[in-house]
Amino acid sequence: MTITYDDFAKVDIRVGRIIRAEPFPEARKPAIKLWVDFGGEIGEKRSSAQITRHYTPEALVGRQVLGVVNFPPRQIGKVLSEVLILGLPDAEGEVVLIGPGQEVPLGGRLF
């Protein structure tokens, strides 16, 4: 499937910083609840992610990640997910988070 640049531009991918992370034991699959600060224009958004294979809640706080901020909220168990945090599968299919290679301003848009 081919898309145009205009199609791609509709996906609002921004950089945020994880400011809080907690275990999500109620989830069907092991997950972590996340609170991510995307800066002044967007602010703080919540999510959950199945990333327990490579990350602990304590190690996530302070990390910059990329997320899609213009999806509608989605109820995931007891968590209302407001952003899709992006990652790639490793060789075993476990999620590895995507983030900038160096510190960048919060809210910066991927283009």
Q: Return the DSSP state at 73.
A: P
CA-closest candidate to residue 36, choices 94, 99, 88, 90: 99
| Listed range (33-37, 46-50, 56-60, 76-80) with the worst mean pLDDT | 76-80
Q: Beta-carbon neighbour count of residue 64 at 10 Å?
A: 21
pTM for this one?
A: 0.94
Confidence at residue 7, expressed as pLDDT on a 0 to 100 scale: 95
CA distance 75 to 78: 7
The pLDDT value given to residue 27? 87
- Between strands 64-68 and 13-23, the pairing is antiparallel
User: 12-97 has which CATH code?
Assistant: 2.40.50.140
| Average confidence (pLDDT) over 25-41 | 94
The number of C-alpha atoms within 13 Å of 90 and in the hemisphere containing its C-beta is 8
